[in-house]
Each structure stands twice: as structure tokens, then as C-alpha cells.
Amino acid sequence: MIISKLPEYFEKNGWKNPDDVYDGPFQYAMGTDKHYFDFLASKPYYQQAFNTVMTISHRRRGQNWFNFFPVEEKLRVQNPTDVVLVDVGGSQGADLIAFKDKYPDIPGKLILQDLPIVVAEAKNIPAGIEAQGYDFFNEQPVKGAKAYYLRTVLHDWPDKQALQILTRVREAMAPDSILLINETMLPESNVALSSAQADLTMMVSFASLERTKEQFETLLNDSGFELVKVWMPKGFEESSAGLAEQATLLEARLKQ
């Protein structure tokens, strides 16, 4: 239904890419001013279905980021009471649970954050992970964590709102904190069909996009960060097909 309305939407808006998550193809087609996620939250059946989809294994193609990122070197804390990792917008905790399974003895606290309606459905959070209801457009309550982690969060938001999300993270960071962004990264050309389909889905539902490395760098720079490194599995061949199957991990720090 939404895709069928795209010609009308673009004609009305001067054939420009949408850039506001509250005024995109979804709102036009559905006749609402609600964000996609707010629309889901107003309909429990859809919200529950969405939460379930976010946990299924086929969405998690490729290796987990902590299999090719130097966790023990980069995620060190001085005290076991310090927060080592905050999973911001982490849904029902699948990533953080997998991380804890891989590193059960890593010192420091692990914190899962998502909207209260999402966290309330997280039924199998193991001991050692604290779940917090949190809206990432508000002040980040966890200050000075070693790492703040965003997995497939930013692709749901155009730059206008993505900058707000990153600003909230930046405000909470200590000088030695790091930002980890786990997302599919588009090549500059010859994009794989599945990546192009994902990019179209982001535009239709969220007025957003899948991003290239250059677009990520610009977004980070504009929000007060600098890109340190793009991490990929050892031996990974950076091609359009490879990037479609393997999410990269972008490591960033506060701009010096």
C-alpha cells in the first residue's frame, strides 16, 4: 500500500528524498502523523509481532561484531561496578545476551535500553544484564560507560533525527568512552539487490536510508565524533555481496 502511494508522495513533495521521520511516505500513505514505531505501539498485535521479528535468527547474517572486534583490549574498565557496555535501542536483548555468552566473565555492568513497551516484553534477560526503559531522544541516564552500542538503530532515522540520537550519546560519554555502531554499510557503487531493497524499505517506512562509509563519517562528524576504524571479520572481502551479508562495526570516539 505504501509503495503504491510513492508517486503521489514524491509529486507532492517536489521529487525530493524524504528527510523527516514524521513526514515521510509512511505518514502520507497511512494518513497519520505518528512515527512508524508509535503506530506499532498503538496496536498491541503489531507491536508484539514486530518484537518477535526483531529476535529471529535469520535477521542476524554474518558474524557477530564481538567475534572480530578486540573486546578484551577495547572494553576494559577499572572497576566491576563500572558500566562496560550500554546497548542503546537493543530491543529484547538478543545482542547483549550473545555478548555475555561469549564473554561471561568480562568485568563491568551490561545495560540493555529500549522503550518501556519493548523492554517489558523481554522475558529471558539473564543475571548480569540490567534492562532499562529509555527513549534515546532523551538525556542518556548512564554516564561515562566504556562503550555505547547501537545496532541497526541509525538506519531507522534520517540525519535530522540520527543527529539527535548521537548527540544524546555524546553528552553522556567520558573522554575514554567509545561509540560502536553495528550496521550494514553500503558500497559507493554496484549495490547488491538485497541492500537496495533494504534502503528502499528504510525510505518508505522511516524516511531514512542505509548509509555508505562517507555518509556515516559525515553523520559522525556533524554530531561531534570522529571515526576511528571500520571493523570487519579477518579475511573479509569488501564487495557489494559481502557487505550485504556482513554488518560492519564502526568505532568512533569524541572529536578531539
Task: Give me the active site residues, please.
Answer: 155
Distances (CA, A) of 77 to 107, 128, 148, 157, 170: 7, 16, 13, 31, 19
Q: If residue 55 lies in a helix (H) or strand (E), which one and from where to where?
A: none
Please give the biggest Cα pair distance in the chain: 57
- Asked if 108 and 82 count as a contact pair (C-beta separation under 8 A), the reply is yes
- Asked if 247 and 211 count as a contact pair (C-beta separation under 8 A), the reply is no
- Whole-angstrom Cα distance, residue 146 to residue 140? 14
By C-alpha distance, which of 154, 75, 74, 135 is closest to 107? Answer: 75
Side chain identity at residue 32, one-letter code? T
- Three-state DSSP class for residue 100: helix
Could you list the beta-strand ranges (E) of 115-255: 129-133, 147-151, 178-183, 185-186, 211-212, 225-231, 248-254
CB atoms within 10 A of CB 109: 19
Query: What is the separation, in whole angstroms, between the first and last Cα of the chain?
Result: 47
